[in-house]
Amino acid sequence: MSKRLAHTLLVLAILAFSHPVFAGEITPINEINTAPVNFDGKEVKLKGIPKNPTRLPLVNLKSYVLEDSSGEITVLTELDLPKMNEEITIRAKVKSLAIVKGDALGLTVTELERYEQQQKI
């Protein structure tokens, strides 16, 4: 194998493992809601409309409901709350408090990153 090919393969492998969510791979919210065990501990990319914001400053808790065409899910965030009723895309981590006999209990989705929406010209 040539050094150039080996270098290219190494770079591709590093990119593949260092960035688990690839552009365009939006997970429908319904997939998480119907099979949360399949997403436990994984990062996902979600796109939808935020609504129903909650901010409890005494316990530093902020959350909102993210809705897409397949359903809705509550998202915890440490970022500023997003603008309501304007589509956003986020990278989030899905976790369950416990998994008992294959059933996930205490599903949490925590926002890790929010992507800026492209402006329409």
What does the CA dihedral 48, 93, 32, 74 come to, rounded to 10 degrees?
-60
What's the token pair of residue 35? 């099979």
pLDDT band at 90 (very low <50, low <70, confident <90, very high): very high
Q: Is residue 12 part of a domain?
A: no
pLDDT band at 103 (very low <50, low <70, confident <90, very high): confident
The three-state secondary structure class of 24 is coil
**CATH at residue 93:** 2.40.50.140
Domain that holds residue 106: 23-115
* Total structural domains within the chain: 1
Q: Is residue 10 part of a domain?
A: no
The stretch 81-87 carries a mean pLDDT of 95
- % of the chain surpassing 70 pLDDT: 75
pTM of the predicted model, to two decimals? Answer: 0.75
Q: Is residue 80 part of a domain?
A: yes
What does the CA dihedral 41, 27, 11, 118 come to, rounded to 10 degrees?
-130
Beta strands in the chain (DSSP E): 43-56, 61-68, 71-77, 88-100, 103-115
Q: Is residue 1 part of a domain?
A: no
Q: Is residue 7 part of a domain?
A: no
